[in-house]
Chain A
Amino acid sequence: MRQILLSLALLAVILPSAAFAIDLSAAKAKGLVGETTNGYLGAPNGKPSGEVAALIRDINTKRKAKYQQVATKVGKPLNVVEQLAGEKAQSKTQAGHYVQTSSGKWIKR
């Protein structure tokens, strides 16, 4: 059992994000993740489980890299890009999925 767990953990590390036990759209649909105002994923229920936390970390790292690319290309600070990305991501959030308000409260779209 322990060996199976270990090899699973190893697989999760080696394989790209596709290997995550839960994917982004499923996590959104279940209300486990939502869009913050600063362009990143957050956990509406406060304490995400291990796999959800890993998904959030993975997506946010990749998003940050993209935002940095845009910031460099446009020649503006990263936080400006992050904020505009947040607005955009929230406005595109489907009904029933979570978004975080600027006061930190999570609401369902």
Chain B
Amino acid sequence: MFRYLIQLRSIVAVLILVLGASACTPTVKVEASDKPITINLNVKIEHEIRVKVDKELDEILSEDSGLF
């Protein structure tokens, strides 16, 4: 009876471990799929900045201010 209890305990322990491990897996997956999205956003923003700043800088560079 005692031996059976110990066996049951270890089965429960293993179950918890397995469940714990599998519970962690989705979290990791979510993080991994997040990354490409972030990179795409950065590229898009970068391009927008480039276009916006470019226009402003063109004025400064062509200005007759003697700064360039």
Which residues of chain A have a CB within 8 Å of any CB of chain B? 17, 23-24, 59, 62-63, 66, 70, 73-74, 76, 80-81, 84-85, 88-89, 92
B54 contacts across to A, CB distance below 8 A: 84, 88
CB distance from A36 to the nearest CB of B (A): 13
A-B contact count (CB 8 A): 47
A81 contacts across to B, CB distance below 8 A: 53, 56-57
A73–B56 Cα distance when bound, in Å, is: 9
Cβ-based interface call for B66 (8 A): yes
Evaluate contact between A84 and B57: CB separation under 8 angstroms: yes
Q: Which 8 A-B pairs have the closest CB atoms?
A: A70-B56, A74-B52, A84-B53, A66-B60, A85-B57, A88-B57, A76-B49, A63-B67
Chain B residue total in the interface (Cβ 8 A): 14
Cβ-based interface call for B44 (8 A): no
Evaluate contact between A66 and B67: CB separation under 8 angstroms: yes
A63–B50 Cα distance when bound, in Å, is: 18
Cβ-based interface call for B61 (8 A): yes
Evaluate contact between B66 and A80: CB separation under 8 angstroms: no
B60 contacts across to A, CB distance below 8 A: 66, 70, 85
CB distance from B62 to the nearest CB of A (A): 9
Most chain A CB atoms below 10 A, which of B49, B50, B56: B56
A59–B65 Cα distance when bound, in Å, is: 10
Across the interface, name the chain A residue whose C-beta is closest to B60.
A66
CB distance from A22 to the nearest CB of B (A): 12
